[in-house]
Amino acid sequence: MSQSQIFLFICLSFIGGIFLNSFLPVGALVKTGLVILGILLISIFWRYKKITVLGFCILFLVLGIWRHQLTELRIMNNELRKYNDQEKIITLVGVIAKEPDIREKSVKLTVQPENINGKVLVIASRYPEYQYGDKLKIIGKLETPLEFEDFNYKDYLAKDGIYSIMYYSKIELVGQGFGKPIYKILFYFKNKFEETARSFISPPQEGILEALAFGDEGNISNDWKEKFNITGTRHIAAVSGMNITIISALLLNILLLLGFWRNQAFYLSVILLVIYILMIGAPASAVRAGIMGIIFLTAQHFGRLSAASRAVVFSAAIILALNPLLLKLDVGFQLSFLAMMGIIYLQPAFLNFFKKMPDFKFFSLGTTLSTTLSAQIFTLPILIYNFGYIPLISPITNILIVPFLAPITILIFVFGFSAMLFWPLGFLFSLPVWFFLSYITYLIDGFSKLSFVSLSIKNIHWIWLLISYLILGLFIWRFKEKQKLKFLKY
């Protein structure tokens, strides 16, 4: 057993502890028993490496359980949460910690109160407008986020440290400029970019442009959001983990096809990925996906794709150590992890299948299709489990759209920079941007009108999810065994 394998088992044990306590709370007696068992295995059988490793794995399992329980305890003891659902009017002074989420008639403000852990989501009228870094004095009642039949809004906010909501309270602007300078610059750029884009491109293409560039769905109508849902392409309208995973995988290949040396393509891919994440405001979901994407690029660059899964598991363990609630409550984190694992384990099989397909000078068809399908298949079970429907034509729509996301996104930013610097140049680049966005809207609109576009499934049991990934695991194992036999023959 190598050191890298031992490290992998320890990371998996820690993640397993978080997973276990997320679905089945572990009592103090069980934890104590596991700790004693782990110490005994290490101290008595220290001469036997595998048994000693098992002992450490048990201890890290308990560590994962304890880390999740510590987070739950912090939520229970949150100062603001104690005032939820009471008639008492309270006064809070805090700073807007995220870019305001502007809707048609309202705005959502994430406020970090002074000297208090946890944030408050403030639902306010659309006007007057507030900006990131504004300090506000808010007078109103705190309420617990609602739990709907098909969506637990309370848990969704809890993973981001938000445990209370204030609806249409009295708000007074106390001061400005309290945010981090780097975010202020990024948000200013984003707003200027979107304002410029609107002068060249009209809806629905303009709304999709903002979604692709910044993950901002504010200018996408509900009708179009529904079209995205039923065609299985909603992920392209958000800076999701799956998107960044696929983009990071395709970006390196595109740069290589453009004639860059491998070293140049690798470093440029990482730089472009980091710049992209910063440009969209560095939301936590994109940062997590970016970490996994960079790890994948690094493994691919050094020719150690076989060991990439260990690096991804390690990065997942670090992310969950910082916020263990993500494992159960953040679908974006789940999609990031699974999409990456799909590319690592399924892409070789698809590359073998598509090896006879023609490759164009600036577009590797086999690599593009294999990357897209690998991520799609590995994330499909979790999408069905969470959203309750099977997008029957999702593989087709995604194969036709996802391979172009990386070049389209890059082209959008080239267009935006050009338009802000020199209007005629912006007009020139707006034409191909409009063409590609129209291609996306045409496909989604056309497929959404088909009668067999999706199949609704309600109350899916977690056993189905487990069976799905066991089948995928079995397929990967069989493929690897066949590859070993071929290698031995030669």
Kindly report the CATH number assigned to the domain that includes residue 100: 2.40.50.140
Residues 63 and 109 in one domain: no
One domain for residues 396 and 448: yes
Q: Is the pLDDT of residue 42 over 80?
A: yes
The CA–CA distances, whole Å, from 143 to 82, 84, 87 equal: 10, 5, 10
**Residue 406 domain flag:** yes
Q: Which of 6-10, 238-242, 254-258, 385-389 has the highest mean pLDDT?
A: 6-10
Average pLDDT estimate for 357-382: 72
Calculate ∠ Cα 341-344-350, nearest 5°.
Answer: 115
CA distance 465 to 126: 41
- Residues 386-427 have pLDDT tens digits of 777 777 777 788 778 877 777 787 788 889 888 888 888 888
* The domain boundary residue, chosen from 175, 204, 238: 175
pLDDT for position 46? 80
Whether the predicted pLDDT of 465 surpasses 80: yes
Question: Do 133 and 66 fall into the same domain?
Answer: no
Contact between residue 450 and residue 384 where contact means Cβ atoms under 8 Å apart:
no
Does 166 lie in the same domain as 42?
no
| pLDDT value, residue 281 | 65
209/265 same-domain check: yes
* Average pLDDT of the chain to the nearest whole number: 82
Q: pLDDT digit string (tens) for 166-199?
A: 998 899 999 988 888 877 777 788 888 888 888 8
Query: Is 98 within the bounds of a domain?
Result: yes
Q: Per the domain annotation, does 380 fall within a domain?
A: yes
Q: Say if residue 375's pLDDT is above 90.
A: no
Over residues 301-318, the mean pLDDT reads 75
CA angle 111, 94, 91 (to 5 degrees): 105
Split into its structural domains, the chain has a count of 3
- My answer on whether 33 and 102 are in the same domain is no
Lowest mean pLDDT among 118-122, 137-141, 447-451: 447-451
Together in a domain, 146 and 37 = no
Residue 49 has pLDDT above 60, yes or no: yes
When pLDDT is cut at 50, 70 and 90, the band that residue 489 belongs to is: low
Listed in sequence order, the residues at least 6 apart from 479 whose beta carbon sits closer than 8 Å to its beta carbon are 348, 349
303, 360: one domain: yes
Query: What end-to-end distance do the CA atoms of the chain give, in Å?
Result: 27
The answer to whether position 274 is within a domain reads yes
Instruction: Give domain status of residue 471, yes or no.
Output: no
- Predicted pLDDT at 197: 87
484 inside domain: no
pTM of the model: 0.78
pLDDT at 66 over 90: yes
Which residue from 165, 231, 256, 273 is spatially nearest to 442, judged by alpha carbons? 231
Q: Would you say 143 and 85 are in contact if contact means Cβ atoms under 8 Å apart? A: yes
Co-location of 144 and 224 in the same domain: no
The one-character DSSP state at 143 is B
Q: Are residues 90 and 151 in the same domain?
A: yes
pLDDT at 118 over 90: no
Q: Do 167 and 297 lie in a common domain?
A: no
* Residue 474 is assigned to a structural domain of this protein: no
pLDDT of residue 54: 92
Residue 254 scores a pLDDT above 90: no
**175, 204, 222 - which closes a domain:** 175
Mean of pLDDT values over 221-241: 75
Name the residue range of residue 144's domain. 81-175
Tell me what pLDDT residue 10 has.
93
Higher confidence at residue 231 or residue 245? Answer: 231
Percentage of the chain with pLDDT > 90?
A: 16
Least confident of 96-100, 150-154, 172-176, 484-488: 484-488
Does 251 share its domain with 397? yes
Domain-embedded: residue 469: no
What confidence score (pLDDT) does residue 435 get? 92
Separation between Cα atoms, residue 32 and residue 418, nearest integer Å = 62
